[in-house]
Amino acid sequence: MKFRKLIAAVLLMAMALALSACGGSQSAPAATQAPAAEAKPAEAAAPAQEGYSHKKVAWATNQVTESFVLMKNAFDKVIGPALNIEFMYSEALSDAGALTTFIENAYASGCEGVIVDLSNSIDQGAAVANDLGMYYIGISSADSKENYNLPYYVSVVGASAAGYGSSYAEAINSVVGDGAEHSIMILSGAAAYGATSFIEGTAGSLRALQQVYGLTYEKDINEIATCSTQIDAVNDNGVKITVIPGLGNDLTNTVSPLLQTGEYDVVVGTTDIYSNLSVAVDEVEKTTGKNIRFISRNVFSDTMSTAMNAKDSTGNPVVDAIVCQGTYEHISSVLLLRNCFDGHVDQMRDGDRCSRVSGMPPLVITSAEDYNALSSDTMPYSFVPVDDILAMTSLKNPEVTWKDIDTYGADLNTQTILEKVA
Q: Going by DSSP bridges, is the β-strand pair 241-245/231-232 parallel, antiparallel, or unpaired?
A: antiparallel
Which run of H or of E encompasses 250? helix 248-260
pLDDT at 408 over 50: yes
Closest CA to 123 of 152, 102, 89: 152
User: How many angstroms separate the CA atoms of 79 and 82, rounded?
Assistant: 5
**Sheet strands side by side (includes 85-92):** 85-92, 55-61, 113-117, 135-139, 153-157, 355-357
Pairing of strands 321-324, 135-139: unpaired
Mean pLDDT of 157-181: 91
Q: To which H or E segment does residue 60 belong?
A: strand 55-61
Q: What percent of the chain has pLDDT over 70?
A: 88
pLDDT above 70 for 128: yes
Amino acid at 373: A
Per-residue pLDDT of 338-354, as tens digits, reads 999 999 999 999 999 99
pLDDT of residue 51: 83
Whole-number Å distance between alpha carbons of 41 and 147: 42
Distance of CA 142 to the CA centre of its chain: 12
Which pTM was predicted? 0.82
Full set of structural domains in the chain with CATH: 3-34+46-159+326-360+380-421 (3.40.50.2300), 162-324 (3.40.50.2300)
Task: Give the model's pLDDT for residue 373.
Answer: 95
Give the Cα separation of 118 and 130 in Å (integer): 18
The answer to whether residue 374 scores a pLDDT higher than 50 is yes
Number of Cβ atoms within 10 Å of the Cβ of 5 = 15
Query: Using one digit for the tens of pLDDT, what is the confidence trace for 242-273?
Result: 999 998 877 888 899 999 999 999 999 999 99
What is the reported pLDDT for 46?
A: 52
CB burial class (10 A; 0-12, 13-18, 19+) of residue 326? buried
